[in-house]
Amino acid sequence: MTWIVANWDQIARYGLQHVWLSVPPIVAGTALSIPLGQLANRYRLSRGVLLSIGGILYAIPSLPLFVLLPSLLGTRILDPLNVEVALTIYALALMLRATADALASVDGQVTLSATAVGYGGWRRFWGVELPLAGPVILAGVRVVSASTVSLVTVGSLIGVNSLGFFFLDGYQRYFPTEIWVGIVGTVVIAVVFDLLLVLAGRLLMPWARPSRRAGRATATLLGVEAEPS
Amino acid sequence: MIEFRQVSKRFPDGTLAVSGLDLVIPARQTTVFVGSSGSGKTTILRMINRMVDPSSGSILIDGNDIGGLEPVALRRSIGYVMQNSGLLPHRTVLDNIATVPLLRGAKRGTAREHARELMAVVGLDPNLAQRYPAQLSGGQQQRVGVARGLAADPNILLMDEPFGAVDPIVRAELQVELQRIQRELGKTIVFVTHDIDEAFLLGDQVALLRHGGILAQLGAPRELLDNPADEFVSGFIDAGRPRSILR
């Protein structure tokens, strides 16, 4: 406990850095998954190819990727951009399938009716299909958020510091308290991100909240399983 | 007035949905297309707002060939009501009704105000305005669907089995309500159903279709009842009547 108090400045600094390293890959991976997910649904071939690439990308071990990226991107070895790009690749690899499935799950009757009342293709995508895919996309973002927050720690091995620094340092010094600080801190960030995502979902998609009256029906209609409560 | 001139539709899979349809749908009246599944009735309806384009022949609205019109703009000028309401699940009742005016660039406030008036026209409780479609009963959803179809004040209202998915009591209520609205507004309604009783109740003119989208008979309900063109027509009408198997 005294160690935590004594090192609070460093913990806070690395915690904040952890947050800053996590957010861009989650946002970029999700954003990129929207056009690519839509493309994946367009043709049978593009679906097979894109989803396979996504699966393979996710299989690349993170540490070699961090080490390899500087030579591919022309960045310095300690540049945080390497970690950001690598984590964006992983986020995209996970989100691609989630977004493709989310967009495919939108009720065909609703899109048909939107067309019938005069939605053009572009407007229908942004105004009807994407919002209705929202709950399933959000479920994917929650997974990606947790996975990214955890993967950021690996960056400490190549000198891009986050709370992961404390695992490494604590391990080298045989100092369990420091390791615990790293683990608990990472979990706290992941949980806070998750709560913020759920809250954002409630605010942006009030229609998806199961109501007392028709909750079950809504949830099934949206293709989302009701959350255990 | 909507005119079908030798309209046929063959789908890419080879199904002939509509063949050689020649027909006039008079303005400010209700024309009902009735037939069993596979009779092409929904295809006929969807050709009027270019959801489906005919393989041959032409369709004219007030003398203009719609083949030359821009589909999205055409659809915004024609009301459309479908089975299971087809409402947008993520929009409130009010915004669902205001959909078409908003697509046409109306101001949000004006469109919502007008939507509120339409809720009264179709007999919806104003307290439902902020609800989402999933929070409504089937009958209420269909009323919202009708209000949405009327929102841009179109001359033509297309209705694709709008009351097909609600229970008989609610259906009867909605039918009466539609007759009242039609008396007040005098739209050109094109209505599709498989229910001959509904066709006779609502239609000024009934078009009975046989399989493959062939017109079996066209006329006022009385004409079809008194002078059925052939056995198919009389058979279809009789099949809709309750059989007296109960003593």
List pLDDT tens digits, range A46-67: 888 999 998 888 888 888 888 8
**Where residue B100 falls among pLDDT bands split at 50, 70, 90?**
very high
pLDDT in tens, A4-62: 888 888 899 999 999 999 999 999 999 999 999 999 998 888 888 999 998 888 888 88
Which of residues 21 through 60 in chain B touch A, CB cutoff 8 A? 46, 49, 51
CA B70 to chain CA mean position, Å: 21
Task: Give the whole-angstrom CA distance, residue B221 versus residue B242.
Answer: 18
pLDDT score at A212: 47
Q: Which residues of A touch B73 (CB under 8 A)?
A: 118
In a domain, A125, yes or no: yes
Angle formed at CA A52 by CA A194 and CA A225, multiple of 5 degrees = 40
- Map residue A53 onto helix, strand or coil: helix
**CA nearest A102: which of A60, A58, A144?**
A144
Contacts of A131 (CB under 8 A, 6+ apart): A205, B90
Task: Give the whole-angstrom CA distance, residue B82 versus residue B160.
Answer: 5
Interface test with B, best of A105, A113, A123 (most B CBs within 10 A): A113
Amino acid, single-letter form, for residue B49: N
Task: Average the pLDDT over A75-85 and give the result.
Answer: 87
pLDDT higher than threshold 80 for residue B218: yes
**Are B150 and B120 spatial neighbours (Cβ–Cβ below 8 Å)?**
no
Interface test with A, best of B52, B81, B90 (most A CBs within 10 A): B90
Q: Which residues of A touch B49 (CB under 8 A)?
A: 116
Task: Give the whole-angstrom CA distance, residue B87 versus residue B83.
Answer: 10
pLDDT in tens, B123-152: 999 999 999 999 999 999 999 999 999 999
Bridge-based pairing state of the strands B16-25 and B30-34: unpaired
Q: What is the mean pLDDT of chain A?
A: 87
Q: Could you give the angle at which helices A8-42 and A176-204 cross, rounded to 10 degrees?
A: 50
Q: Percentage of residues in chain A with pLDDT exceeding 90? A: 58
In a domain, A164, yes or no: yes
pLDDT score at B243: 58
CB atoms < 10 A from the CB of B176, how many? 12
Bridge-based pairing state of the strands B205-210 and B30-34: parallel
Tally the domains of chain A. Answer: 1
**CA nearest B40: which of B190, B192, B213, B162?**
B213
pLDDT higher than threshold 70 for residue B96: yes
In a domain, A227, yes or no: no
pLDDT score at A4: 87
Q: What are residue B38's phi and psi, to 5 degrees?
A: 90, 5
Contact B103 A115 (CB under 8 A): no
Contact A118 B100 (CB under 8 A): yes
pLDDT higher than threshold 50 for residue B29: yes
pLDDT score at A224: 44
CB atoms < 10 A from the CB of A38, how many? 18
In a domain, A228, yes or no: no
Task: Average the pLDDT over B105-123 and give the result.
Answer: 94
User: What ipTM score was computed for the predicted complex, to two decimals?
Assistant: 0.89
Task: Average the pLDDT over A181-200 and give the result.
Answer: 95
Contacts of B238 (CB under 8 A, 6+ apart): none
Q: What is the mean pLDDT of chain B?
A: 93
**CA nearest B138: which of B106, B98, B116, B171?**
B171
pLDDT score at A210: 60
**Where residue A225 falls among pLDDT bands split at 50, 70, 90?**
very low
- CATH number of the domain bearing residue A69: 1.10.3720.10
**Are B156 and B61 spatial neighbours (Cβ–Cβ below 8 Å)?**
yes
In a domain, A34, yes or no: yes
- Map residue A147 onto helix, strand or coil: helix
B171 touches chain A (CB under 8 A): no
Retrieve residue B80's tokens.
Answer: 């459309």
pLDDT higher than threshold 80 for residue A221: no
A120 touches chain B (CB under 8 A): yes
Which member of A109, A123, A221 has the closest CB to residue B134? A221
Which member of A123, A132, A211 has the closest CB to residue B89? A132
In a domain, A229, yes or no: no
Q: What residues are paired with B56 via a beta bridge? A: B8
Note down the domain range covering A179: 2-221
Task: Average the pLDDT over B37-50 and give the result.
Answer: 94
pLDDT higher than threshold 70 for residue B47: yes
**Are B215 and B21 spatial neighbours (Cβ–Cβ below 8 Å)?**
yes
Task: Give the whole-angstrom CA distance, residue A148 versus residue A92.
Answer: 11
Q: Which residues of B touch A205 (CB under 8 A)?
A: 90
pLDDT higher than threshold 70 for residue A82: yes
In a domain, A226, yes or no: no
For chain B, the three-class secondary structure string (H helix, E strand, C coil) is CEEEEEEEEECCCCCEEEEEEEEEECCCCEEEEECCCCCCHHHHHHHHCCCCCCCEEEEEECCEEHHHCCHHHHHHCEEEEECCCCCCCCCCHHHHHCHHHHHCCCCHHHHHHHHHHHHHHCCCCHHHCCCCHHHCCHHHHHHHHHHHHHCCCCCEEEEECCCCCCCHHHHHHHHHHHHHHHHHHCCEEEEEECCHHHHHHHCCEEEEEECCCEEEEEECHHHHHHCCCCHHHHHHHHHCCCCCCCC
Which position has the token pair 């507004």? B185
Interface test with A, best of B47, B72, B88, B158 (most A CBs within 10 A): B88
Q: Which residues of B touch A222 (CB under 8 A)?
A: 89
